[in-house]
Amino acid sequence: MAFEKYRGDMDKIYESVMLCNVLDDDERFRAIIDRAIADGKAEKYKKYSEEPERKRQQRLKRAQKEAKEAEEAAKELEEKEEEAKGTKAKKGRKKKTSAMDDNALMALIQQRQASRAESFFDRLEEKYAPGKKRPAKVEEPPEEAFEATAARRSSKKKKAQA
């Protein structure tokens, strides 16, 4: 428990407990701590029991100042975001043209995807389809060509024998 860890120092307790807010949680924390002290579950520390009212008020003022700074920072952030997107009047006009621009953009994207798919399938077909790696089969020569070749051979044999 943070109360025991920091020996009743409420400033340190608020710093260590996650998501607590001094403005919202001070009364609740004090009620829980008082009940724990009364039940004997927590020790009564001097820093807690004798905490001056002035210190408590300073803690509350500090928390209010931090909350105000956080609100101002949030407003500045909103204003910067609005400036980046344009003014509110321009936003209304942009929505109409923006819808048309979005439709045109979607059509362009779909068209590019379709052309990519076509070229992809063309490349696959080119790569894996049976191609013309071997020359086409040559038709048989006519019968006269066989006879002419046979005649040449026989004439060469006769010359060689003679």
Rounded alpha-carbon distances, angstroms, from residue 12 to 6, 19, 107, 135: 7, 14, 59, 90
Reported as a single tens digit per residue, the pLDDT across 103-125 is: 888 888 888 888 888 888 888 88
In contact, 4 and 42? CB cutoff 8 Å: yes
* CA 54/CA 57 separation, integer angstroms: 5
In contact, 59 and 23? CB cutoff 8 Å: no
* CA 88/CA 9 separation, integer angstroms: 49
* CA 115/CA 5 separation, integer angstroms: 68
The whole-model pTM stands at 0.46
* CA 29/CA 22 separation, integer angstroms: 9
| pLDDT tier for residue 151 given thresholds of 50, 70 and 90 | very high
In contact, 59 and 22? CB cutoff 8 Å: yes
Average confidence score pLDDT of the chain: 83
- Answer whether residue 25 shows pLDDT above 70: yes
Rounded alpha-carbon distances, angstroms, from residue 112 to 100, 119, 120: 18, 11, 12
Q: What is the mean pLDDT of residues 129-151?
A: 79
Place of tokens 């006269």: 144
